[in-house]
A and B are shown apart, each in its own frame.
Chain A
């Protein structure tokens, strides 16, 4: 079972997340603590609004947070605490770690997303994680479009100790996935992770192709894919929200992986998505190394964003 608790590795991870998200200082607390100290007024609310917008939280979620804050601070609550409470309230329901029940064998994960969000790297890290937990993993190299995507995945497979199933370039991705599923069943593997080609959610033809892959998986096992994991790039702006909506409409996304939280982008899009869609956030990533990857924790993430209670 994937552990949702804060193991030592995770707390190290969130320590790094914090330092990377904030580059040494708590974001809102650092920028706004001084302002909030003198009580809350129109000016401080505008400053807060600015910070949220700069963090890619988006207009709608920002307004909601500012309004909520305005209401609660009227009752004399501490502004930073109130904000932390509001953000946590949004994120907490989404902190649902990916749970692999014993019955599902193989447990099938379909990784999807637009181009360049980090799907292949995420698949590699996931494989590594599962193998480290003692599971056997088969990876389907279903990105048959991008040149050398198979080689990239093969390298991750080697690092992780997972079997990579692939076919020739330009092969039918659904056939590759089917192949991997059959291999996994024959070998009694625990987990199959399918890496698909990046595609823009607005490309109807490629979204159809993805739906076909999804159907092939369901035909193999009516419960599968057990997880349709949408990989989102935290440095992207409001379009990430559109991506989540469109992929969800078409495939029924069951979980999100948020990558590239190590830039100076704050990952505020997570808040925008939390407000609009109730999709569980499974994993967050802060770099290319295998250890720069962890189960999402609402509390840790909120603390990394806003600064923890002690600060």
Chain B
């Protein structure tokens, strides 16, 4: 919904290029557009000011004047400045002592407990030895049960305290971790406001009770202007060692991460990127800079495709097509599933630069269509999936009812599948050109709901 920096700069830069020269006046306009784009990305105002000042200095130099495309140079300069602020390479979680204690702190609802769980598989991949989880949240109802359940699901240890004082719980858990020879102790704390003096003091006493290897500030990627104030206050009260940015799978630009990094100097170590317990990724400054600017995350998309597409199933279909065998609905569904595995069409398109949100809706083929088609295929008997030709009116009605959709939806799916199967067959017979022509003709009408 917000214009990306590239779009915003589009307007300002057209003026620049139109005149063929960069004057102080149009630098000012461009710089103003940069300022707004950063503010809409929730970058804190003081940080925006510093950044814009640096960009202004660099832009009014020869660098831009010499360039053929001043717009891209501007974007490049901003991008570079952001990468510089975000820091060099991804920094891993550091171990120190046995157990290495990781303490998670942050505001309410930032995602501390979920992150505590997500750390388990990540740490388990990198080292042997038991991982113990403990929650010192004695306030939120069922907070400790939540972490206990996660520990159970993940096969990690969970410390059940006998005491009710958070610092005492932490100390007991540490003693237990030592006794059991645990490699890691992950310590979850209650969400607290940075201005709550009593709770901030409590966090301090928990910290001194366990002396963590890492004290990590858990930050919501959607956080607003105030994120810098809370991060600064937490950093003043506790010797923080890094930041974990959560809910980064959404469409927030995540400017708060930039602000917190600039103001506290803390490295951003990890990104929470989904509902699943393995959705925790290393933070890559380059990639994140593109996101703040709304430039798309092509690198991320490539990695996603590599990690989530089931190569074997893709190849199975390819072999079938090569042998000239007809593609049935089982194969069709497998293809649809690959698309869903990538997080759906929306998620793929979101990562591509230059595609506006809503572009997908305009084509009439969205994730809902994909899921509906999968639901229809799921409502069929195995025989129907293998031999779609047997699907008559009565079968159509049953399938439609099973998927909670209309009979026309079944017909549309079958038609689409027939068209695809035919195209594949032709391709196998070497009719590649004909297939392409057919695909061209069919475009537009194909995917309408």
Contacts and interface: CB of A to CB of B under 8 A. Distances in A.
Interface residues of A, number: 50
Contact of A155 (B107, B111, B142): B142
A204 B275 CA distance: 13
Nearest to A62: B39
Contact of B226 (A59, A206, A264): A264
Contacts of A205: 340, 344, 367, 371
A206 B128 CA distance: 35
Contacts of B387: none
A264 B228 CA distance: 10
A151 B145 contact: yes
A114 B107 CA distance: 16
Nearest to B111: A116
Which A-B residue pairs are the 5 nearest by beta carbons?
A237-B224, A116-B109, A155-B141, A237-B42, A147-B149
Interface in B126-156: 139-143, 145-150, 153
Instruction: Give the most central of A54, A147, A208: most B CB within 10 Å.
Output: A147
Given A204-B346, A204-B371, 5 more contacts: A235-B223, A236-B223, A245-B1, A260-B108, A264-B194
B107 A263 contact: yes
Nearest to B42: A237
A56 B226 contact: yes
Instruction: Give the most central of B225, B252, B346: most A CB within 10 Å.
Output: B225
A114 B247 contact: yes
B371 A208 contact: yes
Given A236-B224, A240-B222, A242-B251, A148 B146 contact: yes
13 contacts: A56-B224, A56-B226, A117-B109, A147-B146, A152-B141, A155-B142, A200-B249, A208-B367, A237-B225, A239-B250, A239-B251, A245-B1, A263-B107
B193 interface: yes
B195 A263 contact: yes
Contacts of A202: 249-251, 346-347, 350
Given A205-B371, A264-B195, A288-B139, A54 B225 contact: yes
A208 B146 CA distance: 25
Contacts of A239: 42, 222, 250-253
Nearest to A124: B141
Contact of B109 (A50, A53, A58, A115): A115
Given A117-B109, A239-B252, A204 B344 contact: yes
Interface in A124-157: 145-149, 151-152, 154-156
A167 interface: no
B190 to A, nearest CB: 10
Given A59-B40, A202-B250, A239-B252, A208 B368 contact: yes
A79 B427 CA distance: 72
A235 B36 contact: no
A307 interface: no
A152 B149 contact: no
Contacts of B194: 263-264
A238 B146 contact: no
Nearest to B144: A148
Contacts of B247: 114-116, 200
B214 interface: no
Contact of B145 (A58, A147, A237, A269): A147
Interface string A275-295: 000000000000010000000
Nearest to A23: B195
B217 to A, nearest CB: 14
A276 B114 CA distance: 33
A89 to B, nearest CB: 23
Interface in B23-52: 36, 39-42, 45
Contacts of B143: 148, 152
B109 A237 contact: no
A264 B230 contact: yes
B335 interface: no
A249 to B, nearest CB: 10
Interface in B179-228: 193-195, 220, 222-227
A210 to B, nearest CB: 13
Contacts of B147: 147
Contacts of A241: 1
Contact of A235 (B40, B224, B250, B251): B224
B78 interface: no
Given A50-B45, A202-B250, A245-B1, A59 B39 contact: yes
B211 to A, nearest CB: 29
A235 B147 CA distance: 25
B69 to A, nearest CB: 26
Contacts of B227: 235, 237
A25 interface: no
B224 A269 contact: yes
A190 interface: no
Contacts of A59: 36, 39-40
B149 A148 contact: yes
Interface string A76-89: 00000000000000
Given A116-B110, A202-B250, A202-B346, A235 B226 contact: yes
B229 interface: yes
